[in-house]
Amino acid sequence: MSDVERQLRKHVDFKGLVIVMFGLENSDVRELSTKFPANYVFYLVPRSKVRDERPHRILQHYLKAKAIFRLSVKWD
């Protein structure tokens, strides 16, 4: 189990939306999306690291990640 997965497992009981933003350098984190519940959104920021992105662009990425979640919600 990787450090990233261990950190994310701490929040599995959280009932709200969990947005995981990662850069191109950590693109292997996307593979974890199948191991977590539907309230986890994994979003790739098109920079090598998220911290390299400008703050207003991080906000735009965050809003897009929320939109991805809203668009994927469906009734079973």
Series of mean pLDDT values for 10-residue runs along the chain (76 residues): 86 90 89 88 92 94 93 80
Element holding 71 (H helix, E strand): helix 55-72
Predicted structure pTM score: 0.82
The CA distance from 31 to 33, in Å, is 5
Q: Which strand (E) or helix (H) includes residue 35? A: none
Copy the structure tokens of residue 19: 């947005």
How is the chain split into domains, by residue range?
15-72
pLDDT at 1: 62
Is 37 in a helix, a strand, or coil? Answer: coil
